[in-house]
Amino acid sequence: MRVAFRKAGSFVALASLGAGFASCARNPATGKSEISLVSESQEIQMGKQYEQQIVQTMGVYDNQQVQDYVSKLGLAIAAKSERPNLPWAFHVMDDPTVNAFALPGGFIFVTRGILTHMNNEAELVGVLGHEIGHVTARHSVQQMTREQLAQIGLGVGSIISSDIAKYAGLASQGLGVLFLKYGRDAESQSDQLGFKYMVRDGYDPRSMASMFETLERVSKLEGAGDIPEWQSTHPNPGNRVQATLKRLDTLSVPKEQLKKGREEYLPIIAGMTYGEDPRQGYIDGNTFYHPGLKFQLELPAGWKAKNSPEALVAISPEQDAMLQLTAPGKGSPDEAAKQFLGQEGIKGSQPSSAPINGLPAVSSYFETQTEQGPIQGLVTFVKYGELTYQLLGYTPGGKLQARDETFKRTMNSFSELTDKARLDVEPYKVELVKLDRDMSMEEFNQKYPSTIPVERLAVVNGLDAPPDRIPAGTTVKRIVGGKGAQPLRQAAPADSAAS
C-alpha cells in the first residue's frame, strides 16, 4: 500500500467484444490477412479501460520530466509506425521491476526499474520500439482470437462482491500479465519491428543488443533482489542478441550517423529511485511498515505478500486464504462497515466495536457466494489519522474456523509506527559521477561506494566487472542511500514477486 489510494475501476466485459462473427483483417505491420475477432475500435476500448486500471494498480512515477521525456521518444516512433493514428500513450510506472509492456490500442508502459538499467537513449528507444511493435502487429488481438476471446478472464471475476474482487487479482499478478504472455514468434517479430523503428528514427540499433544483454544479466541476478519481469512476460525467441547483431548487416545508413544519446539520457534518471521505495511501505521479516502513513502490521508467517498503490495483499501458502489492507475513505469505521455489509450478496454478523490498540474499529464476520462456491471471512475497519483502513480476510466456505485466529491476530496487530529508524527510511537513488581518470568497475566502487554489490552495479551500468576499464570523462551511475531498510525485494517469508 503506497501513499496514494485510488478507487479501482470496473473490469472490462471481455466476452462481449468477441460476440460478433470472426472476420479477416489485414495486419498493419505484416500486410498479411488474418482472422480477427476484435476490431480496431474494440482494441482501443480495451486498451483504454486497462490503461486506467494499471495506472491505478501500479501507480505512475511522480516526475513529470521523466514522463514527458519517455512520452516524447515513444510518440516520435509511433508517429512513423504502421499505425500512427492510434491514441498512443506512454507511462512510466512507479515499479522497481525491470519490465515494459503494451496494451492493445497503443498504451505503452515502462517501469522505473527498467529505466535505471538503461544507459542511453537508444536502449530506451529499443524497448519502446519493441513494445510498439507488439501493438502495430496486433499481437494481443491475435492471442485473444486464438484463445477464443469469450473465454478469457482475469481470474478475479468469480467473486461476486466487487469490494472483494477488485484486489484479488493482485495475488496472482492478474492485471499486469493479461496481454503480456506473447509467444516466441511474436517476440521475434517485435524485435524486428523495434530494430526497424530505431533506425527509422536515427538511433543506433547496436544499443538494442546491449539492452537485451542487460536484461539477460538482470535475469541471472533474480535471486539477489530484483524480480526480472521482462523474462517472465517476454519469452526469449532464442539468440536474441545474435539476431539483433545479424540485422546490422541490413543497415543502409552508416552506423556512425546513428545516435546513442548517452549524455542526453543519464541526466533524466539522475535521482531516480532504485529498487523498492520503503517510504511507500515495505516488509521486513513478517512485519509490514509504512513510514509515509506511520503504521505497521504483523503478517502471518509464511504468507506471500504484495504491496501496491491500492492494497497490501497476502496469500496463504496453501493459496486458500487471503488478507488485504486497503483505505477506502475518510468515513467512520461504523459507516464503512455498514457500506460493506450492505452490498448485495453479502451476509454479515452483528458488528463488534472493540478498539484495536486504542484506535476506533468495527469488525464483522461475513459470507458471500461465488461461482466456485461460498466464501467466508472477517472484515475490520480501523480509523487512524484521516483514513479508515479496511482489513479483509477471507477463505472458502467451511475453512473460516481454521483461519479465524490468523485473521484476528493480523487485524489486531494494526498499530501506530513510532520507531524513528523505521520512520526515517530512505530509498536507494541513482547518482551520476563523471570520471576524472580511467578505472575499472571495482576501482570505481572503491572510490565512489554504492549500496549495492559491485556485480549488480556493473549490470546497472551495462559494464563487465572485470575486465572493462571505464575511460576518463565517462558518466557512470552509482546507487546511494537505502538508509534504514532494505528497499530491494528479499526472500523473507512474507515477501513476494510482483508483475
Q: pLDDT grade, residue 174 (50/70/90)?
A: very low
- Report how far apart the first and last C-alpha atoms of the chain are (Å, whole number): 15
Q: What local confidence, expressed as pLDDT, does residue 26 receive?
A: 66
Which amino acid, 251?
Answer: L
| Residue 29 contacts residue 72 (beta carbons within 8 Å) | no
| Residue 128 contacts residue 74 (beta carbons within 8 Å) | yes
- Rounded to an integer, what is the distance from CA 259 to the centroid of its chain? 30
| d(C-alpha 233, C-alpha 410), whole Å | 33
Average pLDDT over residues 356-362: 97
* pTM of the predicted structure, to 2 decimals: 0.78
Determine how β-strand 100-103 pairs with β-strand 273-274.
Answer: unpaired
Summarised one tens digit per residue, pLDDT across range 75-134 is 999 999 999 999 999 999 999 989 999 988 999 999 999 999 999 999 999 999 999 999
Element (H, E) at 63: none
Summarised one tens digit per residue, pLDDT across range 240-264 is 888 888 998 888 888 888 999 999 9
Give yes or no for residue 18 having a pLDDT over 60.
no
| Residue 268 contacts residue 374 (beta carbons within 8 Å) | no
| Residue 107 contacts residue 48 (beta carbons within 8 Å) | yes
| d(C-alpha 479, C-alpha 273), whole Å | 9
For 111, phi and psi rounded to 5 degrees? -90, 155
Q: What local confidence, expressed as pLDDT, does residue 464 receive?
A: 80
Q: What local confidence, expressed as pLDDT, does residue 185 receive?
A: 85
Determine how β-strand 89-93 pairs with β-strand 107-111.
Answer: parallel
Summarised one tens digit per residue, pLDDT across range 191-240 is 999 999 999 999 999 999 999 999 888 888 765 444 456 766 777 777 88
Q: What local confidence, expressed as pLDDT, does residue 156 receive?
A: 29
Q: What local confidence, expressed as pLDDT, does residue 351 receive?
A: 95
Summarised one tens digit per residue, pLDDT across range 388-433 is 999 999 999 999 999 999 999 999 999 999 999 999 999 999 999 9
Torsion sign across C-alpha atoms 126, 127, 128, 133: positive
Would you say how long the chain is, in residues? 499
Q: What local confidence, expressed as pLDDT, does residue 498 receive?
A: 29
